[in-house]
A and B are shown apart, each in its own frame.
Chain A
Amino acid sequence: MGRVKIARKSTFIDMTAMSDVTVLLLTFFMLTSTFLQKEPATVVTPPSVSTEKVQETNFVQVLVSPEGKVWLTMNNDTSSAWSNEKMRMALLDKVSEIYNESHKNKISFNVAQKQAFSKLGSFGVPLQQMGEFLNLADEQEGQTKMDKWLGGEDENPNHVTGIPVSWNSDESTPNEFQMWMKALRQTENENLAQSIKDGTGVAIKADQNTPFDIIHMVMDNLQTIHMNKFTFLTALKAGE
């Protein structure tokens, strides 16, 4: 009895088609993706029936943490004359101008610091510490250090995160948050000024569990400097 010979078949699978598919998928995701921006505080926006989509450009996001800290993020029209970099530089000039009007302890920024500011995502530290904060950009692992500072995880207890904000109904003595918002309106970017006027230029992003008095304080701050129209960022509520 001869042994039955089993024909040796190659186990080679042609992966070409599979590779084609994965490359297609990859291209799709690469083109459609917008990266999640790292934010100093993680918040869950409240659900709402409103279906208005958030603007893509020309708005400033005011991130409010449940503890009452505030950070700003700018979204500018990159195609127009006001790019993100240019707008941020103009903003920093303007805000230091406003700050120096009412404070003896003057602040000023050098070119390298302004450059660093123009590349920031979210920002929000007291103006007196802004110079020190921006100096980090030239250091090794500067980005990590800045993120740590903004996230409130810095070892140095003097490094405060968040733009100082407090109850203030007197327009002549603005707090730092109001200074920033005023500066935004006063840069010569007309597109932004127009959208602030329309009410789409300022978007408040806060967690759904944030107590009302914190939101109320931010709203009151804006009202004081005559920004009476703004938007809340919400998530879509399904099924209504």
Chain B
Amino acid sequence: MAEVQQNSGGNGKKGAQKKMQIRVDFTPMVDMNMLLITFFMLCTTMIKSQTLTIALPSNEKVENQENMSQASADDAVTIIIDAKRKKGSNEVDSVNGQVVNEVYYYFGKPGGDAGMFGAGGTVLSENNNIQKSEFLTDEVNGGVHTPRGIRQIIQQRNHDVLVEINNIKKKYADGGFGSLETKADREKAQAAYDEAASEIRKNENLKKPVVIIKSTPQASFGSLVEILDEMQINSISKYQIDNMTRADSVMILDFQSRNQQ
């Protein structure tokens, strides 16, 4: 562990203290420290969780139906999230322990203006206006982002707003909201940008879609977060989470039976 070496020099004077050289072996100490470091490294959580805030309407039944704001059929986009099923059963299929998310959408009313149901509740499958899409990230080709899947659909519907948002994004990058030199400046510019962006999202003169998010009971929580993300990415100002109606389920089943082959 530690050793004391005595200088064996013969030139020492009588009476003078002998010089001692003390060396302590630190190897065991280093060993122990390394063990402790390993322990702390494995036990710590460096990454903090992120949060996604959502606000839902009150559960109380609205008595005065006239006061309810109705989305016009023109603006309405209904997105239904679902999970992929095993072939020929209602069980949820998964790949590597991960549920495969599916997403359907339709514009306006279910079944269009004619509706999904004929006289006596018969299903009019020729009116089915549901379509299937996917959750896909942008395709990046030489710095140009091309949206794909459901994002492309949403962006087409929200085109007017996104044009404006892109304009102020450019303005922000060019320093139009104040210089971006120091951190304080950047924060100030960011605040001004956020203000302008929320102004655009609220602007009544722009054509904006109203997105209604519905989900089958089997759809995963992950796909719900994913579709809420798409709302944020594509600057959708009006969206809500709603319950499935009978027409919705009929349309999905009809779509699936026609596209099984």
Contact = CB atoms under 8 A, between A and B. Distances in A.
Contact of A234 (B23, B37, B49, B233): B49
B261 interface: no
A16 B22 CA distance: 13
A81 interface: no
B29 A15 contact: yes
B156 interface: no
Contacts of A14: 23, 26
Interface stretch (A51-59, A87-95, A140-148): A51-59
Contacts of A209: 94, 97-99, 220-222
Interface of B: 23, 25-27, 29-30, 33-34, 36-37, 40-41, 43-59, 81, 83, 92, 94, 97-99, 137-138, 215-226, 228-229, 232-233
A193 B60 CA distance: 21
A12 B23 contact: yes
A234 B48 CA distance: 10
Contact of B26 (A18, A211, A233, A239): A18
Interface size class of chain A, counting residues whose CB lies under 8 Å from the partner chain = 35 or more
B29 to A, nearest CB: 5
B53 A36 contact: no
A206 interface: yes
28 contacts: A14-B26, A26-B33, A26-B40, A29-B44, A32-B44, A32-B46, A34-B44, A48-B50, A48-B228, A49-B233, A50-B229, A205-B49, A208-B221, A208-B222, A209-B94, A209-B220, A211-B219, A212-B223, A215-B221, A220-B59, A224-B59, A228-B55, A228-B58, A231-B51, A232-B225, A233-B49, A236-B47, A239-B137
Residues of B contacting A: mostly: mixed
Contacts of A35: 43-44
Nearest to B99: A209
B220 A208 contact: yes
Contacts of B49: 45, 53-54, 205, 233-235
Nearest to B243: A216
A223 interface: yes
Given A22-B37, A210-B221, A226-B58, A15 B25 contact: yes
Nearest to A232: B52
Contacts of A199: 53, 55
A85 interface: no
A234 B50 contact: yes
Interface in A1-49: 12-16, 18-19, 22-23, 25-26, 29-30, 32-36, 45-49
B221 A53 contact: no
Residues of A contacting B: mostly: mixed
B206 to A, nearest CB: 23
Given A209-B97, A235-B50, A49 B23 contact: no
A153 to B, nearest CB: 21
B224 A215 contact: yes
Contacts of B81: 212
Contacts of A16: 26
A200 interface: yes
Nearest to B215: A212
Contacts of B47: 235-236
A33 B30 contact: no
B37 A231 contact: no
Contacts of B29: 15, 19
Contacts of A51: 50
Contact of A212 (B40, B137, B220): B220
B30 A18 contact: yes
A207 B97 CA distance: 12
Nearest to B39: A29
Nearest to B219: A212
B233 A240 contact: yes
B56 A212 contact: no
Contacts of A224: 59
In this complex, the member of A30, A49, A206, A236 whose beta carbon has the largest number of chain B beta carbons within 10 angstroms is A49
